[in-house]
Amino acid sequence: MRWTQTSKIVYLPCIYRNTNTLKPDYLATVDVDPKSSTYCQVIHRLPMPNLCDELHHSGWNACSSCFGDASRKRNRLILPSLISSRIYVVDVETNPRAPQIHKIVEPVDLFWKCGLANPHTTHCLGNGQVMISCLGDPSGNGKGGFVLLDGQTFDVVGNWEHPGEAAPFGYDFWYQPQHNVMISTEWGAPKALANGFDPADVAGGHYGSCLHVWNWDTHRKLQTIDLGKDGGIPLEVRFLHDPSATEGYVGCALSGSVFRFYKTLEGDWAAESVISIPSKKVEGWTLPEMPGLITDILISLDDRFLYFSNWLHGDIRQYDITDRRKPRLVGQLFLGGSIVSDGPVKVLQDREKQPDPRIIQGRRVPGGPQMLQLSLDGLRLYVTTSLYSGWDKQFYPDMIKEGSVMMQIDVDSVNGGLSLNENFLVDFGKEPDGPVLAHEVRYPGGDCTSDIWL
């Protein structure tokens, strides 16, 4: 099956963190139509009415899981704020190129009604509701619960999980109704990760290493899969797009590994490591070994290719996953990172040569490749470089001063292979009020990381 990509614009949340004068985050609309006179430009900015929100990921009020209802439309973009715990509902129907705020869900509603805070991943549900995973409780402790919003009014309905059954930590989730299952992942306690990464917090038990298996119908937690030392900080989780599939993948940031999770013959769920990125022995860095830090993964809509980013090492990888248990590397591209040849870090033992810095249209790529979004036809992979402001400041302080970028990778979707489109660059260092950090790309027509098929 071949999908077409009709979207001519994309949406990205952007945040200011480089000056002493606080400015509100905003939603940027970017023109990605090569035939347009404003190609590669931010054509609209929707500022939020509050400060220090930390817009991060976004999701839709409707997607493929509820398209059996002809009245449902993908006309509201849900923007959770990772720090303030505020949720913005944005009208993208009235004027898609100039969205406007439709409703604001205040943090107190999450705190009092759900005992949750730090909302992260948004998915629409087939029953019309919107579900958002959370990282913690209102005090900054880890708590992996889920907030339900009414799909019409966007009022907080309550918790999806039963009382007392929240996971120790939260982050991402993906559900698969055909098999009555949902899988959720873990990052860390909000108060531990807020000001940067401290290895002592891992030893102190403030970061996760587990997958949680939930019964989709009853909302009961059925199983916890501890991935162990090879599965530290499992972040983005992706089922295969085929709704009949009983397997998927999760990227583990700290350990530099990708696990395949699957349903066993006995009916429970298990996981196995199928990709491992070795840490590099280095000098001139905070630690003697540098992990790749896999921060985002996605699967092409035909379920043939898996993509992920190594934010610290600086490369994007493409794997052929036709053999689900034995992914095969078919594409790799370095785009910045912490081991560039002219940087302060020296790699002591490695078969890979230290990459040269990446320059696009005279602009040195700051940071490393982080959030990924693949066009529906599988031919264009969009990449941004900001992870989370507290960690950006620690690992890539120059990006705080210079702003992040958005790039486009051209994909060989037949034989595999990645190449940089030198004609595409969105430089968020040139924003009117100063450099900003841009995060996840979202298509108006749906994409590889927001749509779930029934």
Q: pLDDT for 29-58, tens place per residue?
A: 999 999 999 999 999 999 999 999 999 999
pLDDT at 74: 85
How many angstroms separate the Cα of 308 from the Cα of each of 69, 236, 276, 428, 439?
A: 34, 10, 12, 22, 15
Whole-angstrom distance, CA of residue 307 vs CA of residue 270: 22
Tokens of 273: 């490591």
Q: Which helix (H) or strand (E) holds 402?
A: helix 397-402
Give the per-residue pLDDT at 24: 95
pTM value is 0.95
Does a structural domain hold residue 117?
yes
Helix/strand/coil for 367: coil
- pLDDT tens digits along 98-156: 999 999 999 999 999 999 999 999 999 988 899 999 999 999 999 999 999 999 999 99
Tell me, yes or no, whether 453 lies in a domain: no
Name the residue range of residue 183's domain. Answer: 9-438
Residue 143 counted as domain residue:
yes
Mark the ranges of the chain whose per-residue pLDDT is less than 50: 1-4
* Helix or strand holding residue 310 (H, E): strand 305-310
Give a yes or no: residue 447 inside a domain: no
From the CB of residue 372, how many other CB atoms can be counted at a distance below 10 Å? 23
Q: Does residue 4 sit within a domain? A: no
Give residues with Cβ within 8 angstroms of 433, minimum separation 6. 16, 23
**Residue 229 within a domain:** yes
Q: Specify the CATH number for the domain of residue 303.
A: 2.130.10.10
Residue 443 lies in a domain: no
Q: Which of 268, 136, 161, 259 is nearest to 216 (CA)?
A: 161
Vertex 383: Cα angle to 346 and 271 (nearest 5): 80
Report how far residue 440's alpha carbon sits from residue 437's, in angstroms, rounded to the nearest whole number: 10
What's the pLDDT at 64?
65
Per the structure, the count of domains in the chain is 1
Residue 111 near residue 134, CB atoms below 8 Å: no
At 218, which amino acid appears? T
CB distance 226 to 209 below 8 Å = yes
Q: Which two tokens stand for residue 309?
A: 């980013």
- Residue 61: phi, psi to the nearest 5? -80, -15
- Measured CA to CA, the distance from residue 285 to residue 343 in angstroms comes to 10
